Amino acid sequence: MPSSPRTPAGTPPHPAGANRFLEERATYTVRGSAQPDLETGVAAIREVVRTLRPKPGVYRMTDARGDVLYVGKARSLKARVANYLQVGALPGRLQRMVSQTRGMEIITTNSEAEALLLEAQLIKRFRPPYNVLLRDDKSFPFILVRGGHDFPRIMKHRGARKAPGDYYGPFASAGSVNTTVNALQKLFLLRSCTDSFFARRDRPCLLYQIKRCSAPCVGRIDAAGYAELVQEARDFLGGRSGAVQRKIEAQMAEAAEALDFERAALLRDRLRAATFIQGSQAINAEGIREADIFALAARNGQIGIQGFFIRGGQNWGHRAFFPSHTAEVSEDEVLSRVLAQFYEEVPPPRTILIDRDLSDRALLEEAFGALAGKRVEIGVPQRGERRRLIEQARRNAAEALDRRLAESGTQARLLRELAEFLELAEEPKRIEVYDNSHIQGARAVGAMIVAGPDGFIKNQYRKFTIRSAQTDDDFAMMREVIGRRFARAQEEDPERESGLWPDLLLIDGGKGQMSAVRDALEELGIEDVPLIAIAKGPQHGREGREVFHFPDGREKMLPVNAPLLFYLQRLRDEVHRFAIGAHRAKRSRAISASPLDEIPGIGPARKRALLLHFGTAGKVRAAALEDLKRAPGVSQGVAQAVYDFYHPSG
């Protein structure tokens, strides 16, 4: 029976405007066996159907533990959910889903387009096992010309677009956006430094010397001149690059005619930077100002989708997507689901070109138009330049998929060899690798990386701040990390149904680390997780002869040129890189920390005022109460709080 409408636990914030169209939420749960059972699953759905109305909305199917199995949207919730009662007509994938279903959560909306937007957001949030999923969680980079300052900075940006300014993107990779930002600095001489760095300068930095900044921090250019450069940058990124180039060419000619050869050389270098940006385009986007282009390729049960991103008449890169959970799903539905999830994060352009017609194309156009705040057209080109771009995207999709399949075959072979070498019952699907990083016990950090059949799973990486072992005892640190990781796993997933329990633990270390991890697992009563330690060989790794230590004390080695050895070394090197990076970040934060940070209620502005007045944190500590009260920007209450912190009564 339905509960009173409520907000389900874990529901994320909705897309822009979602709270306006949200009408009702309800949770439905039918108790029954936790084991997959088709009859119990059908009973749970039937209980929900009796209470539904023919309204648009989103539904979530959940299992006995409350985990989301599937997120779907519907024009009519009653009709759509009722389809799951026709078990004989469902594909095997959906029959398995129904057999695991023990409850549903319903959210009604004002339209199907709004339901589609909410569905995409919930899929991204919960990543259900029966939905088509974009595997790549990494957000796309943008170029930001940041506002809110007299001298705006140009910078790379990832994540939520909350900062004021103009965003240009998406770019396909961090490499492409870094290259473009570097060229734009040469072209427009805009600053890239932070506001705090800008405020502290009393002389130009190195970027001015190498002609990549106009040094507004020290007045080498006035506000009006800098504003003109900013406007040129906006014009260039916005698609008016030709006009910008012609203007620079005219200025260069004037400087040469006036015999101002230094200025002419500077303008020449800027012009070369503009040519570099335009000449680095991977495809010719002539005649197209703003569009995304998608094409799909399928082979051997796998699907690859290639996307090109064109903004301002320039190609800003391309990326291949390999969605998961596509078995028994039509190619058209896969492309539709990928588009919905992609534009949940990236602002839709005015034009989206695809290589096939979709049954829900009008619905996607309506939903994307609501996101963009403008009309969005999804087209299927049949001739001309746009058709040529579609064919090029299709070729790229097929080639990327071929490479993916070849890599998957190699990876599968390596995992089979790994299982044989390490005497595992089957190929591991989840490998966890552990390492520690510290300097004589200080700022100690434990690190875990995860790898599987598709390579590194970076959204599963974890860092552990060492709590109880603050010495240089590597064994105690490793024991703590393993103990915390698996104690939590036992608490959250005792039945090991989530797929987050490892099939293999790989420890960076020798016999000592092996013993520490083995003891930690035994204390938790875990005896069935395979465990191997990898240590440098007799020549300390100079010959590449790693030694693999087994829990029973045996040791094995691989031939120097064995591909499996290279694979295991790559795993070990990756966890080493991740651990060192975590340790360095922790150390950097400690170096930049101030003793004033420990004083409760003292914010950045007050700390800055105290440090500017007294010079150092030590002098603040030694200051008398009257001296603290005389510091500019420090009230009597703040002065008293600082004094009391350093001079507690008694």
Tens-digit pLDDT profile for residues 432-479: 999 888 665 566 888 899 998 888 888 889 988 877 755 567 888 889
Is 516 among the domain residues? Answer: yes
Rounded Cα distance between 650 and 635, Å, is 25
Task: Give the chain's count of helices (H) and strands (E).
Answer: 21, 20
65 and 91 in a single domain? The answer is: yes
Residue where a domain terminates, one of 226, 244, 279: 279
Is 150 among the domain residues? Answer: yes
Q: How far is CA 358 from its chain centroid?
A: 28
Of the two residues 376 and 11, the one the predictor is more confident about is 376
461 and 374 in a single domain? The answer is: no
295 and 274 in a single domain? The answer is: no
Q: Please check the confidence at residue 360 and state whether its pLDDT lies above 50.
A: yes
The backbone torsions φ and ψ at residue 535, rounded to the nearest 5 degrees and listed phi first, read -130, 155
Q: Please check the confidence at residue 622 and state whether its pLDDT lies above 90.
A: no
Q: Which of 1, 3, 8 is nearest to 107 (CA)?
A: 8
Out of 11-20, 276-285, 487-496, pick the least confident.
Answer: 11-20
CATH of the domain at 62: 3.40.1440.10
Is 569 among the domain residues? Answer: yes
Q: How much is the pTM?
A: 0.70
Identity of the residue numbered 530: P
Number of domains in the chain: 5
179 membership: H or E segment, kind and range: helix 174-188
Q: Please check the confidence at residue 136 and state whether its pLDDT lies above 70.
A: no
Q: What percent of the chain stands above pLDDT 90?
A: 34
Rounded Cα distance between 172 and 281, Å, is 12
- Collapsing DSSP states into helix, strand and coil, what is residue 302? strand
Across the range 487-516, mean pLDDT stands at 88
396 and 372 in a single domain? The answer is: yes
Is 477 among the domain residues? Answer: yes
547 and 604 in a single domain? The answer is: no
534 and 393 in a single domain? The answer is: no
96 and 153 in a single domain? The answer is: no
113 and 27 in a single domain? The answer is: yes
Cβ atoms < 10 Å from Cβ of 161: 13
Span 170-227, pLDDT tens digits: 887 777 788 778 878 877 888 988 888 888 888 888 888 888 899 999 999 999 999 9
Q: Strand runs (DSSP E) across 141-209, as ranges? A: 142-146, 154-157, 165-168
Q: Are 502 and 432 in contact (CB under 8 A)?
A: yes
* pLDDT confidence band for 336 (50 / 70 / 90): very high
Which two structure tokens, joined as six digits, stand for 649?
């009564």
pLDDT of residue 12: 41
pLDDT of residue 232: 84
Which two structure tokens, joined as six digits, stand for 448?
């875990």
Is 56 among the domain residues? Answer: yes
- Collapsing DSSP states into helix, strand and coil, what is residue 108? strand
pLDDT of residue 194: 87
Average pLDDT, the chain: 83
| Sheet arrangement for strand 291-299 | 314-321, 302-311, 291-299, 351-354, 377-379
Span 572-587, pLDDT tens digits: 989 988 888 876 776 6
Residue where a domain terminates, one of 402, 417, 445: 402
Q: How many CA atoms lie within 13 A of 136 on its CB side?
A: 14
State the DSSP code for 8: P
The backbone torsions φ and ψ at residue 10, rounded to the nearest 5 degrees and listed phi first, read 85, 0
Span 536-561, pLDDT tens digits: 766 554 555 788 999 888 888 888 88
* Angstrom distances, CA of residue 297 to CA of 33, 332, 334, 409, 456: 41, 11, 11, 18, 24
- Collapsing DSSP states into helix, strand and coil, what is residue 578? helix
577 and 460 in a single domain? The answer is: yes
Q: Are 514 and 551 in contact (CB under 8 A)?
A: yes
Rounded Cα distance between 129 and 143, Å, is 34
189 and 54 in a single domain? The answer is: no
Is 109 among the domain residues? Answer: yes
Q: Please check the confidence at residue 379 and state whether its pLDDT lies above 50.
A: yes
519 and 609 in a single domain? The answer is: no
Q: Domain limits at 240? A: 142-279
State the DSSP code for 560: T
Residue where a domain terminates, one of 126, 156, 173: 126
Across the range 393-401, mean pLDDT stands at 92
436 and 576 in a single domain? The answer is: yes
Is 132 among the domain residues? Answer: no
Which two structure tokens, joined as six digits, stand for 271?
């012009």
